[in-house]
Structure 1
Amino acid sequence: MPELLARTSSAELTEWMAYERVTGPLGAERLDALFATLCATVANTARAKGRKAEPKDFMPTWDQGAKGPQDWREMLAAVKAYNRRIGGTDSTTEGGAAGGDA
């Protein structure tokens, strides 16, 4: 991870975060499409008469931005959560940007 952070600018990392937010996770986590297809197949073999299951019935919805604009506090919380997820460190201080209109 340190090499990635050394070679990737903040702007590029932000673009990748936005891309991932709309399309879903990158890498191995992207197996959601494969598992949705598998789940639909299993559901269809075990179903009674009725509507046939499709992979989209089992696909998670990744576009979290559809709920509208966020205020800066929600954005900061999202960035901190993503930072924790990728194993980053938090260099902010109590009462810093989160405490004012920075």
Structure 2
Amino acid sequence: MDNFNSELISAINKGLLDSEKNSDIVITTGILENASKVIAQNVQHQYAGVISRDETIAVINLIFQAIEDEQFFDWEKPTLCGADKTQFEQIRKKLMLAIGI
């Protein structure tokens, strides 16, 4: 199980425990992680068609290479691409956080 999956399962565990604490649900299993894994698999399945982890890493690398290359990222790129260097760096960081790197 990769880091992203374990973080997702941990977040789901926490959400389930918080919901139980707030009396929204009653957990009757002794192994909460099994239920969390099922939820995580369904969430991942729902978003699997959007973009894979490897594709996301490729986009992150492409953004990095583009914004670091002064010849490529010239004065007209913000107009052509819809974002300036700072905005692309923020997008890159969001993508990295989304996949846990």
- TM (normalized to structure 2)? 0.30
- TM (normalized to structure 1)? 0.30
More helix by share: 2
